[in-house]
Amino acid sequence: MKNVYIIGSKGIPAKYGGFETFVENLTLLKKSQDLHYYVACLNSKKNNTFTYNGATCFNIPVPNVGPGKAILYDLKSLKWIINHVQKNNVKSAVVYILACRIGPFLAPYLKKLRQLGVTYYLNPDGHEWLRAKWSKPVRHYWKISEKKMVRQADLVICDSLNIEKYIHRNYENDRLKTCFVPYGATVENQKSIITEKEQGWFDKHHVELNNYYLIVGRFVPENNYETMITEFMQSKTQRKLVIVTNVVHNKFYNYLEQKTHFSQDKRIQFVGTVYDQKLLKVIRENALAYFHGHEVGGTNPSLLEALASTSLNLLLNVGFNHEVGEDAAKYWTKDKGVLSNLINEVDTWDEIKRKHYGDLAKNRIRQAYNWDDIVSKYEDIFLGER
């Protein structure tokens, strides 16, 4: 029996988040009887264990210590794993760490894990050190942490080919081993039937089905809200732009308002977050088109979900997004007028043309990003069959 300990996600059951959705599907769709998963779960109070999707989930209580909370969570998870392996004399184990948060603190934990015969795998995630929300010292920390974690890993599992190339370009050495396994998405055979409750959401926000543009993602500068909102305001469309995000009236929000005065454009509508995954799927399915402005990271889960659900996807033309969308999407740059002209163009498309792109997008997910194949690839890796 191969025992796989996963840390770095907030845990399962998954409510939202890329890592959380990944762990949810990895455990739910498990095929091999020779694997058992242990999943760290962030919890403010409880420190018990429970079973979910056949996995052993262990709650790690972490006080709210500000930006260091995630680091403390990972370190406490490692401590739990070391104790569990020792106490239960666990053999044939792998620790799979999601994201590069704990590089400066990893060495003593890793030394103990290796003494216990535990292998260390890493998912480096995206370019966290490029995110605008971090101060210069924090970005420096992220870069150092990434370097230390990559160089000590027995295997680096990259969710993007571009990330894998970056890892080799920056950290190449004799012991570096990498592989590519992306995130996944699920394509349904037919459009969701809209319930009365879901229709109530559209009515509440005065949103007309199949007649709005959509953005779903964290409200941060590197997701290029400034470009998308500015260009949308300059377009001629009379349709709405529905923005599903965790927006608060913070510094970035105020900056955008002062620069663009988007609140005066009645077409632009911030609707807050949507944690109901079924409702979010319905919102994606019934959008005229989806804007994706992410440029920091690997294979972005929200992009995969959009390709699986939304007919027309308009993506920022960077390597990460083009790698995923290929010819199943239209692309734009941050140059002035590019996105607004694209909006004006697709605004006139008929349903047949949009459906053509929708078919391409769904086939792209089925062929390269379906969860069943991805789970099989992970199981081969964990069982040493890659």
Gap between the Cα atoms of 192 and 190, Å rounded: 6
- How crowded is residue 336: how many other Cβ atoms within 10 Å of its Cβ? 11
Q: Which residues of 288-313 are buried (b: 16+ CB within 10 A; e: fewer)?
A: bbbbbbbbbbbbbbbbbbbbbbbbbb
| 148 and 225 both lie in a single domain | no
| 169 and 243 both lie in a single domain | no
| 103 and 252 both lie in a single domain | no
Query: pLDDT by residue (tens digit) across 357-377?
Result: 999 999 999 999 999 999 999
Query: pLDDT by residue (tens digit) across 34-70?
Result: 999 999 999 877 889 999 999 999 999 998 887 788 8
| 233 and 354 both lie in a single domain | yes
| 163 and 209 both lie in a single domain | no
List the CATH number of the domain containing 297.
3.40.50.2000
Counting the structural domains of the chain, the total is 2
| 124 and 230 both lie in a single domain | no
| 285 and 374 both lie in a single domain | no
Provide the pLDDT confidence category of residue 385 given band limits of 50, 70 and 90. low
Provide the domain limits for residue 359: 196-368
The number of angstroms, rounded, from the C-alpha of 192 to the middle of its chain's C-alpha atoms is: 23
Q: What is the pTM of this model?
A: 0.89
| 41 and 90 both lie in a single domain | yes
Gap between the Cα atoms of 43 and 64, Å rounded: 11
| 140 and 218 both lie in a single domain | no
| 291 and 377 both lie in a single domain | no
- Give me the helix-helix angle, 338-346 and 225-234, nearest 10°: 60
DSSP 3-state of 281: helix
| 322 and 232 both lie in a single domain | yes
Query: pLDDT by residue (tens digit) across 91-134?
Result: 999 999 999 999 999 999 999 999 999 999 999 986 665 566 66
